[in-house]
Amino acid sequence: MDRRKEAVLTFLKASGPTGLAEVAAHLEVSKQGALRHLDALQAAGLVEHVSGSHERPGRPGHVYRLTPAAAEHFPHSHRELAGELISFMSPSEVDRFFAERAARLEAAYAAELDGLSFEDRVRRLAELASGAGHMSEFVDNGDGTFAIRHHNCPIADVAAATGHPCRREQSMYERLLGAEATRTSWLGNADNECTYVVRGSKS
């Protein structure tokens, strides 16, 4: 795979669902040039597009995002290393580590969510999770609930072995959103994604 396509995948992993103009600007090519790379990645099953707004200025259009299959394209050796490092720590040390990590993320995310509506907070939180390596998407379930769906976990081996990262993450989402977050799927159970469903307060 050439460097341009690699750059597209890395950019989409970091930024989450993104419009054509943003991809073109990142690559410093024309929209037509960016589209050729995106079309090739779609044909390979690594990228997909949906129609709609992508929370950036401009008219609604196609939003590009990574597919679950794209997760296998990125290196996984860091997951194995994390698992090995955790094996040298006691359960209390592991829990303390992830508690402190969640606290740092929560402080950073809170500033990003300040002043947004409930739906926009969930949407923005999904984008922020993508920036942390989760390849997340925002889902409107159409029944008054929304979901944050993770298609990738940068510390999957540790999460499956201990559960600590997931419990801390779930609690963090609840505090940031002011609503219960129900986990309906989990990569640690061999599901294809981790899904957290939340319901906003009635107006």
Which residue is associated with the tokens 């929304």? Answer: 146
The range of the structural domain enclosing residue 37 comes to 3-73
- With bands split at pLDDT 50, 70 and 90, how would you rate the model's confidence at 174? very high
Which residues on neighbouring strands pair with residue 50, listed in sequence order? 63
Residues of the chain with pLDDT > 70, as a percent, come to: 79
pLDDT digits over 23-33, tens only?
999 888 999 99
Task: Decide: residue 97, CB within 10 A, 0-12 exposed, 13-18 middle, 19+ buried.
Answer: middle
Using left for φ > 0, alpha for ψ between -120 and 50, and beta otherwise, residue 57 falls in beta
- With bands split at pLDDT 50, 70 and 90, how would you rate the model's confidence at 62? confident
The answer on 189 and 89 residing in a single domain is yes
Please state the rounded mean pLDDT for residues 167-189: 90
Q: State the total domains in the chain.
A: 2
Label the pairing between strands 136-140 and 194-199: unpaired
> pTM for the whole thing?
0.59
Q: Which of these three, 73, 103, 123, is where a domain ends?
A: 73
pLDDT digits over 116-150, tens only?
999 999 999 988 887 777 778 899 999 999 999 88
Which residues on neighbouring strands pair with residue 63, listed in sequence order? 19, 50
The answer on 94 and 39 residing in a single domain is no
pLDDT higher at 114 or 84: 114
For residues 49 and 115, what is the distance between their CA atoms, to the nearest angstrom? Answer: 29
Task: Decide: residue 26, CB within 10 A, 0-12 exposed, 13-18 middle, 19+ buried.
Answer: middle
